[in-house]
């Protein structure tokens, strides 16, 4: 693998062969001429001299043509401002200060501020000048090389995030002058976690190394590929002729990385999702270009992975809306805009009667009114905000449970759990102590987990469920029938009941397909010793049929809509 791809090693070779370009910065054209003559005497060949009277001209010269070294004459006053200015324009170019007089304190200040050397005009001669410049260039070159090595990812040898950001910022500056667009590609390996888990971390590392090598091999010397983090790579292409060119590059990358990769004894192949952002000029910050490419990459993932997407205005707008919603949701959590509503749950054993409530979260948005979970829970799940929301709902539900059990001791409360909460091994012990502190019977608390949250069948989720069960908490599978509904997982999970999704209800007429499905689910659940609750019950006819099919409980608008705690309490008192 060419570990030194795009590295100073090759730059060094080129630099050695290239002429030395010295930029003289001096107000005094007579002084500059003298220095130029000395330089010509010292260098027999391979020297280019440029002259700038003012630092501003020097900056332009550096941006347009660069320099191997700057000889900066400073004023008698010893003002070092110009030194800082030039360093800001070309941080990697060595600067030698040329002063009118010997002054140890000033020389020290100049060197401390980053000058490579301090020469006194009357004391310089060609040989002294030659040494000063050659040493300054060499010293500077090794310092830059060391600094760059520090900015490399040790696994792949590629530039890391910091170096990529730096190169992108420079490229954005350059694109303003040239007028050409640049593209950033954000690449993420699809399902890398699963590859890592199934083949092992060593194989995962090999795979990333191989991928880095492939990407490097595809680039022109002036392009950059960096390991941005984990299984994420970023690529920078300058001087794009058109947007189409960026798409072609993405296409080529997708095809090349998809070829089989050898991993010691195994062979595997991967796919990647790529987001593309095109930018021109420095009015957009490097971080924002990367953020846009990342947003486009997420879109590629959402559209099914193994593809590329270009960032455009609609994505920008959606991104903004998401950021706004996320900020508002954060504030809502802190500013107590969240509410919990309670929907009655009834038993169908005998005449239907209230047995408990399901706690359902709402957001009382200051402008948009009361929002249902469908408006914000997907975002909450993605951003992790679902964790504090879940804590809030559980806390409220436990308080109500304690209060309501004083009115009716058998009442239960169900709370919905998110996939994220199930991934936290600390969740079960924390909840166990909260339940104990509330003084409630743990069996009166039921946690609902949707089938889809269990789909990845993660060991952690299973562990958390077993711990919750061990504390005595009741568990139910929510929305049964909408996920993969596997029989083996039903047997494996320590649950007490399943909630049949409303999509099974329909008219439930005798002999209908829906009736047969509900019957099958109820029989299966009973055979496994689990209870059943039908969701979304709206008509008396449905209740009749459910009863006939053996369903144990029901929930739906027919018995009551989700309502604030005082209304739910009134229902409880009259039940």
d(CA 255, CA 91): 39
Which one of the spans 173-181, 215-223, 228-236, 532-540 is the region binding Mg ion (CB under 5 A)? Answer: 532-540
Applying CB under 6 A, among 281, 282, 506, 536 the residue interacting with ligand C2E is 536
Applying CB under 6 A, among 73, 216, 273, 418 the residue interacting with ligand C2E is 418
451 binds ligand C2E (CB under 6 A): no
- What HEC string does 366-377 produce? CCCEEECHHHCH
d(CA 415, CA 417): 6
Nearer to ligand C2E, 173 or 538 (CB): 538
| C-alpha torsion angle, residues 484, 489, 494, 499 (rounded to 10) | 30
Which one of the spans 244-252, 410-418, 432-440, 457-465 is the region binding ligand C2E (CB under 6 A)? Answer: 410-418
- What is the total count of residues that contact ligand C2E (CB under 6 A)? 26
CB of 93 to ligand C2E, least distance (A): 57
Both tokens of residue 277? Answer: 């952002």
Applying CB under 5 A, among 26, 294, 478, 552 the residue interacting with Mg ion is 478
451 binds Mg ion (CB under 5 A): no
CB of 358 to Mg ion, least distance (A): 6
Q: What does 531 interact with, of Mg ion, ligand C2E, none (CB < 5 to 8 A by kind)?
A: none
Residue 31 dihedral angles phi and psi, to the nearest 5°? -60, -40
Which one of the spans 24-32, 160-168, 169-177, 550-558 is the region binding ligand C2E (CB under 6 A)? Answer: 550-558
b/e per residue, 362-392, with b = 16+ CB within 10 A?
bbebeeeeebeeeebbeebbeeebbbebbbb
CA 1 to chain centroid:
28
Nearer to ligand C2E, 315 or 386 (CB): 386
Q: At what angle do helices 313-334 and 286-302 cross, to 10 degrees?
A: 90
Restricting to residues 49-78, name those near ligand C2E by CB under 6 A.
Answer: none
CB of 536 to ligand C2E, least distance (A): 4
Which one of the spans 295-303, 321-329, 487-495, 549-557 is the region binding ligand C2E (CB under 6 A)? Answer: 549-557
What are the C-alpha distances in Å from 501 to residues 104, 450, 496, 556? 84, 10, 16, 11
CB of 452 to ligand C2E, least distance (A): 10
| Strand extents, DSSP E, 230-352 | 232-240, 261-263, 266-268, 272-279, 308-310, 338-347
Residues listed for the chain? 575
448 binds Mg ion (CB under 5 A): yes
Restricting to residues 459-498, name those near ligand C2E by CB under 6 A.
Answer: 478-479
d(CA 388, CA 394): 10
Binding site for ligand C2E (CB under 6 A): 343, 360-361, 372-374, 377, 386, 390, 393, 416-418, 448, 450, 478-479, 502, 535-538, 555-557, 562
């Amino acid at each position: 693998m060419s570990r030194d791809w795009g590295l100073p090693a090759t730059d060094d070779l080129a630099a050695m062969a290239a002429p030395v370009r010295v930029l003289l910065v001096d107000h005094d054209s007579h002084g500059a001429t003298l220095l130029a003559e000395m330089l010509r005497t010292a260098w027999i060949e391979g020297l280019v001299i440029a002259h700038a009277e003012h630092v501003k001209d020097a900056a332009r010269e550096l941006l347009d043509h660069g320099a191997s070294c700057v000889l900066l004459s400073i004023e008698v006053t010893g003002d070092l401002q110009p030194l800082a200015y030039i360093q800001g324009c070309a941080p990697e170019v060595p600067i030698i200060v040329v002063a009118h007089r010997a002054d140890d304190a000033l020389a020290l200040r100049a060197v401390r501020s980053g000058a490579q050397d301090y020469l006194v005009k009357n004391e310089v001669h060609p040989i002294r000048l030659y040494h000063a410049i050659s040493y300054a260039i060499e010293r500077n070159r090794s310092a830059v090389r060391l600094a760059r090595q520090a900015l490399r990812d040790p696994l792949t040898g590629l530039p890391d995030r910091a170096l990529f950001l730096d190169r992108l910022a420079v490229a954005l500056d350059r694109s303003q002058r040239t007028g050409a667009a640049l593209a950033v590609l954000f690449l993420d390996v699809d399902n890398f976690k699963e590859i890592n888990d199934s083949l092992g971390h060593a194989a995962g590392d090999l795979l990333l190394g191989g991928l880095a090598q492939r990407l490097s091999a595809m680039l022109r010397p002036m392009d950059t590929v960096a390991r941005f983090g984990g299984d994420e790579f970023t690529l920078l292409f300058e001087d794009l002729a058109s947007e189409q060119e960026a798409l072609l590059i993405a296409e080529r990358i997708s095809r090349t990385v998809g070829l089989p990769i050898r991993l010691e004894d195994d062979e595997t192949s991967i796919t990647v999702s790529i987001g593309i952002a095109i930018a021109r000029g420095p009015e957009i910050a490097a971080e924002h270009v990367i953020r846009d490419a990342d947003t486009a990459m997420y879109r590629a993932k959402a559209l099914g992975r193994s593809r590329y997407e270009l960032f455009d205005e609609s994505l920008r707008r959606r991104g903004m809306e998401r950021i706004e919603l996320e900020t508002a949701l954060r504030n809502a959590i802190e500013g107590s805009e969240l509410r919990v509503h309670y929907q009655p749950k009834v038993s169908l054993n005998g005449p239907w009667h209230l047995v408990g409530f399901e706690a359902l979260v709402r957001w009382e948005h200051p402008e948009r009114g009361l929002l249902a979970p469908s408006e914000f829970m997907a975002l909450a799940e993605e951003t992790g905000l679902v964790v504090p929301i879940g804590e809030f709902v559980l806390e409220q539900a436990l308080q109500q449970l304690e209060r309501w059990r004083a009115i009716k001791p058998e009442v239960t409360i169900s709370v919905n759990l998110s996939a994220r909460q199930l991934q936290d091994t600390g969740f079960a012990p924390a909840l166990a102590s909260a339940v104990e502190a509330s003084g409630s019977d743990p069996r009166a608390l039921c946690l609902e987990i949707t089938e889809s949250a269990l789909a990845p069948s993660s060991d952690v989720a299973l562990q958390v469920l077993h711990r919750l069960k061990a504390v005595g908490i009741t568990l139910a599978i929510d929305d049964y029938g909408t996920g993969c509904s596997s029989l083996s997982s039903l047997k494996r999970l320590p649950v007490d009941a399943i909630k049949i999704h409303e999509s099974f209800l329909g008219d439930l007429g005798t002999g209908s397909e829906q009736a047969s499905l509900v019957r099958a689910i109820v029989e299966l659940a009973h055979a496994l010793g689990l209870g059943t609750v039908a969701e979304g019950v709206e008509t008396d006819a449905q209740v009749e049929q459910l009863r006939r099919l053996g369903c144990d409980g029901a929930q739906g608008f027919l018995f009551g809509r989700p309502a604030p705690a005082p209304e739910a309490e009134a229902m409880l008192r009259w039940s």
